[in-house]
């Protein structure tokens, strides 16, 4: 019986390629997970500040309703009183909440607007702007 030697060259090459592929995928997975975590933290900070603004607006609404129900003029720091309306602007982390309440026939919400001023991101550098 004749013995055939086993050639390990192709097998070693295949295992090397598989190892490189698995290492590349592991690095990409770790980088993606880190980027996802940063994005999730940024989103959580944004939502947290917006909820805090909403809570401040709700407190303002409750104070105005309480004052009107007692028959007195609302005396709230930072609030402006106009003809039949009370309004106040709240700011937190670059986000603004504008609340305007009607004080005619009880208290009702005229405007409840939350916004953030947009600023162009020019950190990309000098890109071609066209003709």
Q: How far apart are CA 123 and CA 4, in angstroms?
A: 65
CA distance 61 to 101: 8
DSSP 59: H
pLDDT value of position 112: 94
| Contact predicate 86/73, CB 8 Å | no
Please tell me the predicted confidence (pLDDT) of residue 98.
Answer: 94
Per-residue pLDDT, 75: 82
The pLDDT value given to residue 109:
92
Say what the pLDDT of residue 131 is. Answer: 63
Per-residue pLDDT of the chain (131 residues; tens, 9 = 90+): 778 777 788 889 999 999 999 999 999 999 999 999 999 999 999 899 999 999 999 999 999 999 888 888 788 888 888 888 899 999 988 899 999 999 888 889 999 999 988 877 767 667 776 76
Q: Residue for token digits 């129900």?
A: 69
Whether the Cβ atoms of residue 88 and residue 24 lie closer than 8 Å to each other: no
71, 117 Cβ separation under 8 angstroms: no
Any idea where the domains of the chain sit in the sequence?
12-116
* pLDDT at 26 (0 to 100): 97
């Amino acid at each position: 019986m004749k013995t055939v030697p086993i050639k390990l060259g192709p097998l070693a090459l295949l295992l090397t390629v598989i190892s490189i592929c698995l290492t590349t995928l592991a690095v990409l997975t770790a980088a993606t997970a880190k980027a996802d975590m940063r994005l999730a933290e940024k989103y959580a900070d944004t939502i947290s500040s917006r909820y805090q603004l909403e809570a401040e607006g709700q407190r303002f609404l409750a104070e105005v309703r309480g004052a009107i129900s007692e028959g007195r003029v609302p005396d709230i720091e930072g609030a402006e009183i106009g003809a039949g309306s009370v309004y106040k602007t709240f700011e937190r982390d670059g986000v603004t909440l504008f609340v305007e309440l009607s004080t005619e026939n009880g208290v009702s919400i005229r405007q409840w607007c939350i916004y953030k001023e947009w600023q162009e991101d020019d950190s990309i550098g000098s890109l071609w702007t066209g003709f």
